[in-house]
Structure 1
Amino acid sequence: MSRALKTADDLRRRATYLAEVVDQLYPGGAQSEPGRPYIVVPGRRKPRVLIPATDRKVAAAALARYARPAARGARLKRDAAVWALRLGLDRLLLPHRLTTGGGEGIDDHLASVLGHDVHLSVHIGPARANRKPVLQILDGEAETVAFAKLGVNALTRELVDAETAATRRLSELCDLKLLRVPKLLHAGNWNGHNLMVTSALPAWTAPADLGPARRIAGMRELAEACGSSRAPLGESDYAARLRGRLKALTDRGETDADTLQTAGETLLDRYAATELTFGAWHGDWAPWNTRETAEVIYLWDLERFETGVPYGFDAAHYRLQDDIVTRGTDPTTAVLGLVAGAPATLAPMGVAPSEAEPTALLYLVDLAARYMGDQAERAGAALGALGRWLLPTLLRHIARQRSAPTENAGGQC
């Protein structure tokens, strides 16, 4: 698909999602009752965020904090819109408005849960299988006090439940020193959707340039947070879980699932005797899900958190996502670079050189199984078509190694 067609498809999907999310948050309201007015930023053609239109101070704060654009040009446009709101000139830069149906909406429920009036801004993200309503919650003083997520289908309900459990576990049960994760403020149901409300972390602040060593220290702390173990891959719970996931995808008849299952099982068999260290990983530790400061590392979006996975998965994931999304590297080139550079990428995590390539390849199989299980391609996700970038690389490495002996890593790293 050409870039122009991809852009048009993304715009169409965003506009459709805008209508869907408004209906989810304000369902079936009586039109005779006054609704909630929102400003569509930057406009209806390519909506990215809804901000409340009733209070300019709140609207400006909501827009300033909903995200921190990576590109300088995007930040300048965002900042100009914030100043327009503060000066009362928003109709010039942000002319598009919408009004929800009347009646009770999610903000009424959240006000009851939190015990004070709330104002909401709503993120309108790109097409992804795990896209769900994500709400920034502000109080009457324009302070961001919480974030909320709603599970609105089978996948997102599962993810909200998983993030609820992970947030509770890490914030209440684990002794984190360098890392800070949100606190769980509420977990329940609303209008048939499961709902999670967490404390707000300063996601909108400028990141500190503290170097990769600090990030790796945070990844190692998370890996150890729930305990760790060392065992041959073939005897691990992780290997059994991954085999089960791959078989389930094949049984479901997902496209290319048999190819992925063959690749995964070949790797699991080949490295069955290789000893690896197993611990926890965030599951999506990427630049947009963390903020580093001089004192602590803030970390959020814990819906993919998992224990008992090979050490180094977070470091591998960060490199791949940073290369593709932040640096604009071609996905196939990024995958090849990850595998080739695995020893250097994973050594700071304590992964021995002989364990680095199997760890990187297992991570890629795990990631492919996630995308396939989420039906990411069907949802329109940019990297959902695994056959175009990820599977060929895995098959190439399997073929290259087919006749090569495997050096087992027997000692402690």
Structure 2
Amino acid sequence: MTTAATATADPRSRGDGLGWVTRAVFGDERIALSVDAEPPAGHTVVARYAVVPSIARARFLLPLGAPRVTAAALLAYNALRPAKVRAVRAALGAAARVGIVDRASFPVLAVAVPTGLDPAEALLAVRVAAALGDEPLYAACGVRPPDPNHKPTLQLFDGTGAPRGYAKIGWNDATRALVTTEAAALREVAAAAGVGGHPGTPRLLTELSFAGQVVAVVEPLPARIRGVPVDGPPEIGALLAVARRGGPATASRPLAGSAFLARLTEQAQRSAATEGVGERAVTAVAALARRHGDVAVEFGHWHGDWVPWNLGRHDGELIAWDWEHSGPEVPVGFDLAHDAFQRSVVLRGEPAAQAAGQVDAGLARHGAALGLDQARQRLVADAYLVEMWLRTWRLADAGAGWNPALHPALLETIEKRDGS
């Protein structure tokens, strides 16, 4: 970085969540960041953020100078969050609304650019606002621990505190691929939303590349949306509509010769070069083809991360978001399998082998509603587990690192099911 960009107290040099987020959001080297310090000479401050609650334990970057915006950043969609998180945000939001956050002793992050430089040339939030045709917009950002699979997200508000969009930032190979996938999925499902039981989706407002990053800006969710119960039954009709894009069923086709199996085979072969993996995934895909190649199943799309925390209801309509793992040409039933697997791993903390058993149980309980007899249920379960391990590998190969909950345990589970 330049001397100006490495001014005293620049948080981008930190190795924690604040450092990770500021590097992604303020990546242009011409930007000077300082915390409780004056910007370098020749620079003009264009934005200030409260770092809440502290530099060492940062959880939010909240814009200063617009109390309604600061409050909105804390209170928007609070009903979707866990009870403890809701309580903290509600208290902070009430304080922000009357200007207490602006007057509090939180550290202040000053964002400055060289005097005379158009902020739109260096600042992502300004560039996004220009793309949306709105000036000005205020940006707030949550701070999470560093994770190469996570994407910083800017909450964008107008001066009244009304949400205008969410800008997801793909900053490395793994997250750039996820943001690009979600943008493509939202464009494709826009026509199907609300048709034939298909859930509603947020619209893609714009997509842009900026300073080596890929950014997708998604419209806000409805203000009164409420989450679905995490222990409720799976939304069978909606996930079937997602698979069929709101249309009728399509003819079943054998697994052998399918584009799906060809993709698994190709990816497994590429994964063989990964240290510690070798030919294990290749063997697993070959075993899948050997066991289920003659089974005919309906192929369709899937959401890719169909779980209760990515679903909500607004005026009775189901809304689905976070489409970054969506894709075509997978066996119908993958979203049902994923729902069971993720509830097991994420909600209950169960190991991969137990989660695989939950996939079998979920398909046995609800598979008939998707047209899956026992043979098709076994195909969907085994194929989904291979797909899920290959997703884990793809993310690791793109720089996100291995998910320790799924590797090597999931590959070992697949091998035991294969009998190999």
Q: Is the 8 A contact 1:282 1:304 kept in 2?
A: yes
**Can you give the 5+ residue segments of structure 2 that lack an aligned partner in the other structure?**
1-13, 33-39
* In structure 2, distance between residues paired with 1:140 and 1:20: 26
> What do residues 245-289 of structure 1 show as CA deviations (whole Å, max 9, x unaligned)?
111111x42432522221122112211001111111011112232
Q: TM-score, normalised by structure 1?
A: 0.83
Q: Which amino acid is the alignment partner of residue 150 of structure 1? A: I
* In structure 1, distance between residues paired with 2:223 and 2:284: 38
State yes or no: 1:39 paired with 2:61: no
- Gap change, CA 1:87 and 1:64, over 3 Å in 2: same
Q: Which amino acid is the alignment partner of residue 253 of structure 2? A: A
SS in 1 for 2:415: helix
Q: 1:236 aligns with which of 255, 258, 282?
A: 258
* In structure 2, distance between residues paired with 1:92 and 1:360: 55
The residue aligned with 2:133 is 115
**Can you give the 5+ residue segments of structure 1 that lack an aligned partner in the other structure?**
1-10, 403-413
The residue aligned with 1:8 is none
Q: Is the 8 A contact 1:40 1:48 kept in 2?
A: yes
State yes or no: 1:379 paired with 2:400: yes
Q: How does 1:204-283 map to 2 (within 5 A)?
A: 205-208=225-228, 215-225=235-245, 228-250=250-272, 252-283=273-304
Q: Is the 8 A contact 1:289 1:299 kept in 2?
A: yes
State yes or no: 1:336 paired with 2:357: yes
Q: Is the 8 A contact 1:128 1:381 kept in 2?
A: no
> What do residues 222-253 of structure 1 show as CA deviations (whole Å, max 9, x unaligned)?
11107644111112111111111111111x42
Q: Is the 8 A contact 1:226 1:279 kept in 2?
A: no
* In structure 1, distance between residues paired with 2:225 and 2:53: 21
Q: How does 1:159-174 map to 2 (within 5 A)?
A: 159-172=178-191
The residue aligned with 2:22 is 19
The residue aligned with 1:408 is none
State yes or no: 1:396 paired with 2:416: yes
State yes or no: 1:137 paired with 2:156: yes
- Gap change, CA 1:270 and 1:223, over 3 Å in 2: same
* In structure 1, distance between residues paired with 2:57 and 2:337: 32
Q: 1:193 aligns with which of 179, 197, 213?
A: 213
SS in 1 for 2:30: coil
Q: TM-score, normalised by structure 2?
A: 0.82
The residue aligned with 1:88 is 99
More helix by share: 1
* In structure 2, distance between residues paired with 1:266 and 1:148: 42
Q: Is the 8 A contact 1:254 1:372 kept in 2?
A: no
Q: Which amino acid is the alignment partner of residue 414 of structure 2? A: L
Q: 1:314 aligns with which of 335, 341, 353?
A: 335
Q: Is the 8 A contact 2:222 2:314 kept in 1?
A: no
Q: Which amino acid is the alignment partner of residue 288 of structure 1? A: W
Residues matched between the structures, number:
387
CA apart distance, 1:86: 2.0
- Gap change, CA 1:276 and 1:159, over 3 Å in 2: same
SS in 1 for 2:284: helix
- Gap change, CA 1:259 and 1:211, over 3 Å in 2: closer
Q: Which amino acid is the alignment partner of residue 417 of structure 2? A: H
Which shows bigger deviation, 43-52 or 302-311? 43-52
- Gap change, CA 1:69 and 1:78, over 3 Å in 2: farther
- Gap change, CA 1:221 and 1:183, over 3 Å in 2: same
Q: Is the 8 A contact 1:316 1:345 kept in 2?
A: no
* In structure 2, distance between residues paired with 1:129 and 1:356: 34
State yes or no: 1:296 paired with 2:317: yes
Indicate the RMSD between aligned Cα atoms, in angstroms.
Answer: 3.0
Q: Which amino acid is the alignment partner of residue 184 of structure 2? A: A
* In structure 1, distance between residues paired with 2:271 and 2:229: 41
- Gap change, CA 1:371 and 1:208, over 3 Å in 2: closer
> What do residues 326-367 of structure 1 show as CA deviations (whole Å, max 9, x unaligned)?
233344422333235431143333322221122112111101
Q: Which amino acid is the alignment partner of residue 276 of structure 1? A: V
Q: Is the 8 A contact 2:25 2:152 kept in 1?
A: no
CA apart distance, 1:299: 1.3
SS in 1 for 2:235: helix
Q: Is the 8 A contact 2:225 2:314 kept in 1?
A: no
* In structure 2, distance between residues paired with 1:284 and 1:394: 20
Q: Is the 8 A contact 1:371 1:384 kept in 2?
A: no
- Gap change, CA 1:127 and 1:88, over 3 Å in 2: same
Q: Is the 8 A contact 2:163 2:220 kept in 1?
A: yes
